[in-house]
Each structure stands twice: as structure tokens, then as C-alpha cells.
Amino acid sequence: MCGIVGAVAQRNIVPILLEGLRRLEYRGYDSCGVAVHNGGLQRARSVSRVAELDMQIAQSGFEGTTGISHTRWATHGAPATNNAHPHFSPNRNGDQTVALVHNGIIENYEEIRSELKALGYQFESQTDTEVIAHLVNHMYDGDLFRTVQKAVKRLHGAFAIAVFCKDEPHRVVGARLGCPLLIGLGNGENFLASDAMALAGTTDQIIYLEEGDVVDVQLNSVKITDRNDIPVERPVNTVHAYSGAIDLGPYRHYMQKEIFEQPRAITDTLQGIEGFVPSLFGDKAATVFERINAIQVLACGTSYYSAMTAKYWLESIAGIPTNVEIASEYRYRTPAVNPDALVVVVSQSGETADTLAALKYAKELGHKHSLAICNVGTSAMVRETELSYLTRAGVEIGVASTKAFTTQLTALFLLTMTLAKMRGRLTPEQEHQHLKNLRHLPNALQSVLALEPNIIAWAESFARKENALFLGRGLHYPIALEGALKLKEISYIHAEAYPAGELKHGPLALVTEEMPVVTVAPNDALIEKLKSNMQEVRARGGQLYVFADSDSHLASSEGVHVIRLPEHYGELSPILHVVPLQLLAYHTALARGTDVDKPRNLAKSVTVE
Ligand code: G6P
């Protein structure tokens, strides 16, 4: 979603501001812009890609030592140049004096806009952001830091902002509430960004701001105050290892690279695991796990589907009642609360606005314990939960989540096993066997990845379709949902997933020769039921595309296309079965010529509700 970069230096910082935007492109955006101080305020904006902005700037000899840049994902107002950030606010003579970029949503912007309009401020955009620029300008008292401290108190909603002004040429002020913002420390120069990735190659010394912090970034100092305007020190972290993530290697897209990284990502997620022990989830986990009697999982998107899969495991293996809910639904309803249910948030980014709000709400409702399964150790979600397990997928750049999903499943399986063991539902022999299966999982995944050429052949015919159905049963129903989500996200083919037993209750009406029906068909206890559902599809002329296990005796025939995975992988089978669906979506999108890593209208990290 939106991205922020800011810099104060003694050299031209335009290349840093642009490179930062390039590194944030993966988050999804529809316009971008840069503003610098070079005596006055100068700005360039584009509704195209960062590369186009770069060209515009190169042609105009645009330079400066202080500045901010932004990628915008439209919320208030269409993706148009006048709505792109940075936003300016002029003084009475019409000279631009304040430049500002913003991530998030200001809920009371209309009220503030009316006030400012009455004072004579003119608005050239439909954004909530321009309101903050004018507000800062209006409240400016000669000290930008002090002004921003006061101005943000007027704002309701979620925001991260970076602002500079004409009268203080070597200063950028930042503030965060509900959206991430961090400081990058340099030598005689300092930076701001919404994501450490933006500053890779510039600095690895990072300070993460806390909720309500305001920061004064100058050439040789950074000063932070908390929500009560009290000066605070925040720890400095050394953050590296981003350069590998940016490098595509032999792959055409980040999504393809990330699909193929899954064996490594799972190996890393399992690193150091010798047994299923509560301490994997934090020091207090043993006590917490003793106390809880149920689980409430909250998540969005792909993370929600990993949680849905885990419900099958948690209930059948650990015997613990588990409820899984979409975070944006949970946060606005009145659930019957079981305070002893462990709240588990599942998130790749750890910053998804709805999941964070749902976590906060669950705590307010009286849930005593919380756990985050997350890919970013420094994220708000990890900071705000009592327990955590970090998936070690590495940076995920493709908007369509792949390696984050399979590592989340791995972590949720570890949680299941740990709870099962504590509840006397796992013998030492079973523990040994599950550990063995987990360790072999990366190899099993390699065999599935080797099926790519067969899947490419299918993708050619999928690329010509506009609709697809996905079927699964039991543990693999959420995998069918995830497969359909992947296909629609990046190929724009309308795809829906159903539990196969529901076919007769509606979707069968859609089945014709034109309808490809992708079937996730592991050789588990439900295979015979699933075969009957497949017959129902064939009888209506539907084309079946079946992912079967090699030991399931399912063979290709007229209208039935079968790709065989290795032998059935038991409880961990969903982790294998999702991979061909990822590859099918990827190659179908490739054949349709879509922007695989940055699908239209979507963002990687959804930091607004
Ligand atoms: C966005 C991304 C998805 C992701 C979802 C939840 O929609 O495009 O890939 O699954 O957010 O994100 P999270 O970071 O909380 O897992």
C-alpha cells in the first residue's frame, strides 16, 4: 500500500528518494511523487510507475538536500496527479511553504477541511492528506516539530506522515499512529521510511517508531517524543538481508521466485526445532497454553485461509475448539467472548490494519492471552501480542502471497502439535513421526515444484477462460479457496471455491463445457466422496483439472486432466497441494500478460481499513 521515504542530507537526496520508492513498489500503488527543498519547494508527481517519475525528474534537473517521496494507493480521490502526494500548502502570497506525504486514513478530514476552507485555504485534491498539509501550515509557529506535535492531536484515524517546510530547510518531521514509520540513521544525514526495505543500501541502522511518536529528523540528530510529548529514546536495530530479496536471480517475477523459495523458507521456519515445546512461542507460552481452553484466530486474505486450514488440525489433533474469523468482520460485531480463548493473529506483514484493530478489540473484550504468527519480527502485531512465532519466509515482494502462506501453515502445525502434546494427545512415537515428516517436507515440496512444466501446459488453456471453479473437501477446502484467490488476484479470471459437497446446492448450475473445475484431490479419507462430486461435474460436461496424489488411482480420461503429486502426505498434505495451485495462477497470469507482481487495484500490505 502507500509508501513513504524522507531524507535530510548534505548531498542531493533525489536518487535516495526514488530508489526508496522503487523498493516499495511491491507494496502496490497507483501514483507516486517526490518533493524537495532547493530554496523553495519543488515537486514532481506521476500517475504512472516510479520509472516514469524518474524520467520526468531527470529531464528537469530537479535536486535538493531535504525531501520526501511517496507511493499512493488511492483511498480518497481517484489515482490522478492532483491527488498524488506530496501535497503542498501555500502562504498568503501563494508561495508553497509546507510539503507533506501521508499513509493511512484521516477519519475527521471533512470537518477539518470545512474549518480550513472557511479560513480561506483552497483545496486542489480530494484527499484527506491535503487537509493535514494545510492544517500544519495554518498552525505553524516557526518550529515545525512543535507544530506537528500539536497538529496530529487534531487527527482521528490512522496515519504515518512526513513533512518539511520552506522556512526550515534541513528538517523533516514524521509522526505515526496506526501506520508504520521508522527512522534510518546515517552519518551527518538521516532518513524516514514506512518500511526498512526502502532504505536498504542507504542505512541498516533503524529505529522503529511507536504509536503516537513524533520525530524531528535533522542532519546530525533525531529526536522522538511520545504521544504525551515526552522525549523518549527508542532502540536502534541493525536491519540487513534485504538485498537478496530484491535480486530476482533466474526468475521472471518475484512471485515465481517466492514459490520456488518455499522449501528454503520452510527449512528456515523449522530451524532449531527438536520437539514440540511451548517455549517455541515465547517464555510465557507454557503457562498460557495451560490456561487456555479454546482458540480464536483473526486474519485477512491468504492468512485467513492458512488459519482456516489450521482449524481442522487444531480441532482434530489437539482437540481444542477453534474459531476462525475474518478480522474486518470480527472488529465490528459483538461476539460472545470466552476470555480463556487464546487470540491468534496470523499475518505476513504484521501491519494489516483490520487484523491489528481486531486484536485490539479482542483484548478490550476481555481475551486474556494473544499470540502472533507473523513474518516480520519488528511489526506492530508482534509487539502487541504476548506470544509470537516468527515464520522465516524472508521478505515477500509479490502481492500474491505464497511462501508466507506455507510457512504460516508450518507454524500453525507446530502450534497444533505443541497443544496436542500438552493435552496428552501425542505419543512420543507420533511426535517423532511428525517431526520426521516436517523435516522431509522441503524435499517433498521440491518434487511438487518439479511439476511446473505440466502445469504450464494447463495454464495455456486456462488463460482463455473467464471463470473457474475450485473444489476441495475437509482440510483441503481452504486450499481450494486459496487456489481460487491466487487465480483471481493475478490473472483476473473470476474464480470461486466450494467445498465439493456443496456443488449440488448451487455452483453445479454454472458447470458447462466452458467451465474448468480445479479439484484438489489428495488421497485422504474423503477421496471417494470427492470422486462422486467429480462425476457430477463430468455428467454436466465440465472439464476437470485434478491435482491427485500418486497413490490415489486417479487417471486422466476424456474431460479429466490429472497431475499427480507425490504420495499422500498425511496431515501436512495441504502444504504440498497449494503449490501447484500457486503455479497454475502464476502461469495463467503470465499467459494473459498481466502484471503478476503488482496486480491492479491490490496492495501488498493493507495498512488502511
Ligand atoms: C493483502 C495482500 C495479501 C495478504 C493480505 C493479508 O490483501 O495482498 O497477500 O494475504 O493482505 O495480509 P497479512 O500481511 O496480514 O498477511
Ligand 1 center to residue 346 CA distance, Å? 10
Average pLDDT estimate for 101-105: 92
Distance CA 377, CA 405 (A): 16
Instruction: Tell me the C-alpha distance between 5 and 17, whole Å.
Output: 6
* C-alpha 561 to ligand 1 mean position (Å): 31
The ligand 1 atom at the shortest distance from the C-alpha of residue 302 is 10
pLDDT at 359: 97
Residue 466's CB: how many other CB atoms inside 10 A? Answer: 10
- Residue closest by Cα to atom 5 of ligand 1: 301
The set of cell numbers assigned to 520 is: 484438489
- 243 pLDDT above the threshold of 70: no
Place of cell 503488482: 598
349 C-beta closer than 6 A to ligand 1: yes
Residue bearing the bigger pLDDT, 246 or 540: 540
How many Å is the Cα radius of gyration of the chain? 26
Catalytic residues: 2, 604
Best mutation site among 25, 397, 605 for ligand 1, i.e. most ligand atoms within 8 A of its Cβ? Answer: 605
Amino acid symbol at 429: E
Annotate 501-522 with three-state secondary structure: HHHHHCHHHHCCCCCEEEEEEC
Q: Please indicate whether residue 302, judged by its CB atom, sits closer than 6 Å to ligand 1.
A: yes
Split at pLDDT 50, 70, 90, the class of 26 is: confident
Distance CA 173, CA 432 (A): 55
Query: Would you say residue 588 has pLDDT above 80?
Result: yes
In angstroms, rounded to a whole number, what is the distance separating the alpha carbons of residues 419 and 369?
Answer: 15
C-alpha cell at 364: 478490550
Tens of pLDDT, residue by residue over 64-85, are 999 999 999 888 888 899 999 9
Question: Measuring CA to CA, which residue among 69, 21, 43 is closest to residue 166?
Answer: 43
* Pairwise CA distance, residues 366 & 147, whole Å: 37
pLDDT at 43: 96
The better pLDDT of the pair 494, 376 is held by 494
Give the number of other Cβ atoms within 10 Å of residue 573's Cβ: 21
Q: What percent of the chain has pLDDT over 70?
A: 99
- The number of CA neighbours under 13 Å toward the Cβ of 521 is 28
Sign, CA dihedral 307-310-315-318, equals negative
The reported pLDDT for the residue numbered 78 is: 85
Judge whether 88 and 121 are in contact, CB under 8 Å.
no
Beta pairing partners, 217: 172, 222
- Other Cβ atoms within 10 Å of 422 Cβ, number: 18
SS3 318: coil
Whether ligand 1 lies within 6 angstroms of the CB of 606 is answered as: yes
Domains of the chain as residue ranges with CATH: 3-238 (3.60.20.10), 249-447 (3.40.50.10490), 450-597 (3.40.50.10490)
- Tell me the per-residue pLDDT of 519-568, one tens digit each, with 9 for 90 and over: 999 999 999 999 999 989 998 889 999 999 998 888 899 999 999 999 99
Assess contact for 345 and 369: CB atoms under 8 A.
no
